[in-house]
Chains A and B, each alone.
Chain A
Amino acid sequence: RKEVEQDPGPFNVPEGATVAFNCTYSNSASQSFFWYRQDCRKEPKLLMSVYSSGNEDGRFTAQLNRASQYISLLIRDSKLSDSATYLCVVPRRNYGQNFVFGPGTRLSVLP
């Protein structure tokens, strides 16, 4: 299993829709996870941190399932400005205290 895998994109959804992305990871000892968003050719920006079972911030909810080794990101009431690539980040197994970034899932919110 790869260290981190994400749902293939792109996800094309209408404004106002609810959309969810999944991310699976292989390092069962992982303790902390992150979701970043990246706009085209821009730097990744931290969206949410996930340290326990989950986290909620406004329209965004992240959930962690340790038994099945996946994290999810739920976006409610999608806005046009949510269009971006969403990167899942998990601790890396073989490079000490570092993280591995998933390939990303692209979201397009359509008017």
Chain B
Amino acid sequence: DADVTQTPRNRITKTGKRIMLECSQTKGHDRMYWYRQDPGLGLRLIYYSFDVKDINKGEISDGYSVSRQAQAKFSLSLESAIPNQTALYFCATATGTDYSNQPQHFGDGTRLSIL
């Protein structure tokens, strides 16, 4: 089984719908992240969380919200989806002992299309 699991893997929906993307991990990592990736662009950070009680905005948080339900679960919501939120979304995790030394580990991604 994958260490970082994202659901769903693919989703097609309509403008204005509320969508939730879920991420769960079995790595025991404290830190979890949500990114989006658009063709020709690098990964952009949406939100991140260093523990259950810690939520932080990334560089492109507008239009998104998150919930850290447990150490192992971090969900991303689009309250009212719009077409320019069509992208590939990745969840990632990392240990929190020393930020300068720990790489991030990614889930398989969710392909989201908003019509």
Interface residues of A (CB under 8 A from B): 31-32, 34, 41-46, 49, 51, 87, 89, 91, 95-104
Report the nearest A residue to B39, measured CB to CB.
A41
Max chain A C-beta neighbours (<10 A), residue from B59, B90, B100, B101: B100
8 residue pairs from A and B, CB less than 8 Å apart: A41-B109, A42-B109, A43-B106, A43-B108, A87-B43, A96-B56, A97-B50, A104-B42
Q: A95-B58, A95-B59, A104-B42 are in contact. Are A89 and B103 (CB under 8 A)?
A: yes
Chain A positions within 8 Å of B59 at CB level: 95
Q: By the criterion CB–CB under 8 Å, are B105 and A46 in contact?
A: yes
Chain A positions within 8 Å of B33 at CB level: 98
Binary A-proximity of B93-112 (CB < 8 A = 1, otherwise 0): 00000011101111111010
Chain A positions within 8 Å of B12 at CB level: none
B47-93 contacts to A, CB under 8 A, are 48, 50, 56, 58-59, 88, 90
Q: A95-B58, A97-B99, A98-B48 are in contact. Are A44 and B90 (CB under 8 A)?
A: yes
Q: By the criterion CB–CB under 8 Å, are B101 and A32 in contact?
A: yes
Report the nearest A residue to B6, measured CB to CB.
A43
Q: By the criterion CB–CB under 8 Å, are B103 and A49 in contact?
A: yes
> With A and B bound together, what is the CA distance between A41 and B10 in angstroms?
12
Q: Which 3 A-B pairs have the closest CB atoms?
A: A97-B99, A43-B106, A101-B43
